[in-house]
A and B are shown apart, each in its own frame.
Chain A
């Protein structure tokens, strides 16, 4: 019924009427299922008004802010930090309420004191109640959240405990929505860099081959396509348990590598080469052409074809921060006697 009346109303609409109709504007600016369904049907039923409707929607779209300034990320964060920092302390309110109480009549003072006392007890009771509820809740929630990144993409996220995870391309990580009270455990396939918030619960990264156990620290875990796994420690301390029952400790700047056969060895590492990816640094250090190919494919999500014969001495070193594939290819070709072509998702590297 209502819809019919609405329909009739629109029959007599002139340009200005459409232009000032909230439901019509909503459809032009924010089409959704509801308004699209209505207006498409209405236009179909009123083909003679079609031109008018098109005209009206054009008018609506063309009014824009002449000075449409955007807030920079830096200013955004600065405002945010100032707002959070300049928050007055809670006691402030208490002092104010005390002062106002003093001006009350004597009898009111006692009533107020009783009230405050009552509120305090209530608060204690609520606080006690809620603190009792929380652990119960946490025990029942064992739901796992899965994050993965396709080739050519990376992602960063903060866990519930404040720890930060950088997930490299083609990797996957699973973790509970909220950590239980005894430990914080995540399951990793691929490569990730961890910046762990220090707290009493240990943080455990579980992979097919090993379990890495830490308190507060930052480190990189990488499973390579050849089945090698490496754990590189930037700061703090980590304990690694492999599937064969070995327990190993790592110091900062040390990297432990496990082969597919279960052998392991310790080495140093170049932090930029190992962990630069999390800061969008694409790093080649004496990389063979096959390493270059593999890295480009994973970083940009493209297919790299190699043509020609590459001498075993061919190696490339270079660092790129947040560069396009085109620029990286050009950079490589400049210093290492190769030619590159790029067509869509296909790159070809030809050795001359």
Chain B
């Protein structure tokens, strides 16, 4: 590290160099290095189950921490951004969450789904931050309305050629008419690949069954909307 800046000061370069050399030296190289180091830990832990990884983290294994950070930070960020809060607030919440977890190392309880646990914790942290910010942000703006928007992509439906433009429109409308909690459950199920058990934990259902019921009803509504349209034609 730092060698790039050394190279820069050695002269004879400026003569034929474009402006790139004026960039702050090495920031990107350093970033790459952190990313790379984290990527390396993936090989170490990818074959282990969540309970083992969590136990290693709890023991103070820094590699395990790097692995958790590498895998879950991007996912947490995307999930946190569904709560219609500013991105930097989401980043702060992720930061606080990891600081808290590191502080509690040695005393953390067993975790069987790291993703579920982290998502749930981030959600709590986010809501806490939003309440702290109450004076700055009108809390009325933060209602569940409009959270977890879903996009329906057409790319994957090429095989299903009979899907008409009109149906597509209907689906879009249907999607907007789902409740935010229904959309949240659908996204956790499909986009995050979570089990009903994990979803139930995140969404405060006492049973996994309830999470499935929520999704089931949402999809049934959507389908009736779609097939109803088909019959009309």
Contact = CB atoms under 8 A, between A and B. Distances in A.
A156 interface: yes
B78 A70 contact: yes
A74 B31 contact: yes
Nearest to A158: B37
A87 B69 contact: no
A68 B191 CA distance: 10
A285 to B, nearest CB: 8
A67 B82 contact: yes
Contacts of A64: 150-153, 191
A19 B149 CA distance: 19
Interface string B68-108: 01000110011001100001000100110011001100000
Mostly, the B contact residues are helix
Contacts of B196: 22
B156 interface: yes
Q: 3 smallest A-B Cβ distances: which pairs? A: A66-B149, A66-B151, A61-B156
Given A87-B102, A156-B36, A62 B156 contact: yes
B64 interface: no
B101 to A, nearest CB: 9
Contacts of B18: 319
B32 A82 contact: no
Q: How large is the interface on A (under 10, 10 to 19, 20 to 34, 35 or more residues)?
A: 35 or more
A292 interface: no
B13 A270 contact: yes
Interface in A76-109: 76-83, 86-88
A7 B3 CA distance: 63
Nearest to B213: A20
Contact of A67 (B17, B69, B81): B81
Nearest to B3: A218
Contact of B103 (A76, A87, A157): A87
B3 A54 contact: no
B220 interface: yes
B150 A318 contact: no
B35 to A, nearest CB: 6
